[in-house]
Amino acid sequence: MNQIIDRAVRRVGQGLFWATILLVAVPGEAAAAVPDESQFVFNTFSFLVWGALVMWMCAGFTMLESGSVRTKNASVICLKNIGLYSIAGLAFYFIGYNLMYVDVSGWIGTVTFLYGPSADELALLDGDEEAVGTVVSNGYSVMSDWFFQMVFVATAASIVSGALAERVKLWSFFAFITVLTAIIYPIVGAWTWGGGWLSERGFQDFAGSTIVHSTGGWAALAGAIVVGARRGKFRADGSVKPTPPSNVPVVTLGVFILWLGWFGFNGGSQLALGGAVDAVAMSNVLVNTNLAAAAGVMAAISTARPIFGRVDLLAGLNGAIAGLVAITAGPDLVDHYWAIIIGAVGGIVCTLGMKVMEMVKLDDVVGAVPAHLVAGVWGTLAVCITAGGNFGVQLLGVLAIGAFVFAVSLALWFLLQKTVGVRVSETVEEIGQDSAELGIEAYPEFVVMPDADDVEELKRS
C-alpha cells in the first residue's frame, strides 16, 4: 500500500514539474509580457553586472601597460591606472554625469554638482510603497545607470595612460585626467548619447567607437605631441630604437582581459534586458564583438610582415583591440560576416597606424592612438555600410569630436607644460620613475641590464 502511495505522489510531483515547465516555456497571452517590475530588476541588474565587467577592463589596461614598459616604470603604471579610475569615478559623480545627461540643451547639460538617487527612490527606501510604480516606470534604478556610464569614462582615461608611459609626470597626468573625465568627455557625451546636437542629426555610435575610444585617442595624441618621445626612442640617424615589452605574457593576458570586458562594454550598451528582443539583440552583439576581435588579430598578424618585416606579436595584440574598437560603433548587426570584415579592416589600419606613428616620430608606448583613434574612426564610418548610418552625419561627428577633443587637450597639455611641467627629468627617466618618484621597484629581485645604446654611447665618450 505504501509503495502505491509513493508512486502516486511521485507521479503527481512529476506532473506538476512538467506542467510548470510548459507554462514557462509556452506562456499564454496573459503571461507573454515580462511584468514591469521584473523588467526593472533585469535592466538594473544588467547595468550593474555589465558595468562591473567593464570596470575589470582597468585591470586589462594595467597589465597591458605595465608589461609593455620597462621594469623600472611598471610600478608607476600601476599607480596611474588605479589613480585614473578613482579620479574618473569622483569627477563623474561631482559634475561629469550632470554635464553629459541632465537637461542637455544641445551642447551641454546642467552645470551642477553631485548626483544621486531620485526622490521617488529615496522615498521607496524610506518605506513608501506607493513610490514603487514611479520608480519602476523609469525602467532601471538611477544609480545603476550612473555606474554603467562611469566605467566608460574610465576606459577613455585609460587610453591616455599607455600612450604617454615612461616619461609623463604623475601629477600632471592626474590633472589632465581630472579635466578629461569631468569636462571634456562629458561634453562629447552630451552631444551624442545625452541627446545633443549630433544626436539630433542622427549620429550613430552604439557603444562608443568615437565617443569613448577616439576621444581617448585624440587626448593621447595631443599628449604625445607635447610630452615628446622617450629619450633615445628615435636615433640621430632617423632609425627607431626597439623597445620590447618587459613582460610579454602579462601584456597578452591584459589583452585577453580587455577582450572579456568588451562583452560588457558592447553587450551592456543594449541598455535593456527586459524581454526576448533585448536578449536576442544582446546575443548578436556579443557574437559580433568576438568575431571582430578575432578577425582583427588575424588581419594584423598577416599584414605585419610586409609592414614591419616580421611577424609581430604586438601588432597581433593591438589587432584584437582595434577589431574590438572598430565593431563598437555598430555591433548590433544581424549579418555576422560584416563584423569579420569590420574587425579585419580595423586590425589592418591599426598596424598601418603603428608604422605611421614611427615614421612621423611620435612615441606611443602601447599603440593606443592607432588602436583606439584610427580604428575608432574607421568603425564609426563603417556604420554607414552596415547599420544605415548617414555618411555625412557620421563624418561630421568624427570631425567635430576630433577637433574639440584634440584642441582642448592640446591647450591643456601646453598649459600644464608651462606651469608645472609635463615631463620627468632626464635623470628620472634614466633611472626609472619607480625608484625616483615612488622609491619602489616592481621586480626588486631582478637585475636590470643596461641599455645597449647607452653602453655604446658611454664607450664612445
Q: DSSP letter string over 416-448?
A: HHHHT-SB--HHHHHH-HIIIIIS--SSTTSPP
| Signed CA dihedral, 213, 215, 218, 223: sign only | negative
**Alpha-carbon distances of 30 from 21, 26, 35, 214, 299, rounded to whole Å:** 17, 11, 11, 47, 50
State the pLDDT at residue 388.
Answer: 84
Determine the residue type at 52. Answer: A
Kindly report the length of the chain: 461
Q: How far apart are CA 218 and CA 232, in angstroms?
A: 24
Residues in CB range of 372: below 8 A, 6 or more apart:
159, 213, 214, 216, 217, 220, 321, 325
Q: Closest by alpha carbon to 228, among 437, 18, 4, 417?
A: 417
pLDDT of residue 204: 96
Q: Which helix (H) or strand (E) holds 397?
A: helix 391-419
d(CA 283, CA 333): 10
* 8 A C-beta contact, residue 153 and residue 88: yes
Q: What is the largest CA-CA distance in the chain?
A: 105
Closest to 84 measured CA to CA, from 177, 162, 169: 177
Tell the residue number behind the cell numbers 526576448, with chain if given. 276
CA distances 394 to 210, 346, 411, 428, Å, are 10, 17, 26, 44
For the chain, state the CA radius of gyration: 25
CA terminus-to-terminus distance, the chain: 105
DSSP β-bridge partners for residue 240: 234
The counts of H helices and E strands in the chain are 22, 0
Domains of the chain: 36-460 (1.10.3430.10)
Tens of each residue's pLDDT in the chain, 461 residues: 445 445 544 553 444 344 333 333 444 443 446 788 899 999 999 999 999 999 999 999 999 999 999 999 999 999 999 999 999 999 999 999 999 999 999 899 998 899 999 999 999 999 888 889 999 999 999 999 999 999 999 999 999 999 999 999 999 999 999 999 999 999 999 999 999 999 999 999 999 999 999 999 999 999 999 999 998 888 887 788 888 889 999 999 999 999 999 999 999 999 999 889 999 999 999 999 999 999 999 999 999 999 888 888 999 999 999 999 999 999 998 899 999 999 999 999 999 999 999 999 999 999 999 999 999 999 999 999 887 889 999 999 999 999 999 999 999 999 999 999 999 999 898 888 988 888 888 887 775 556 666 666 656 76
C-alpha cell at 234: 628615435
Q: What pLDDT score was predicted for residue 449?
A: 58
**What DSSP line would sit under 287-303, residue for residue?**
HHHHHHHHHHHHHHHHH
* pLDDT value of position 203: 97
Q: What is the pTM for the complete model shown? A: 0.88
Quick check: 347 and 323 in contact, CB under 8 A? Answer: yes
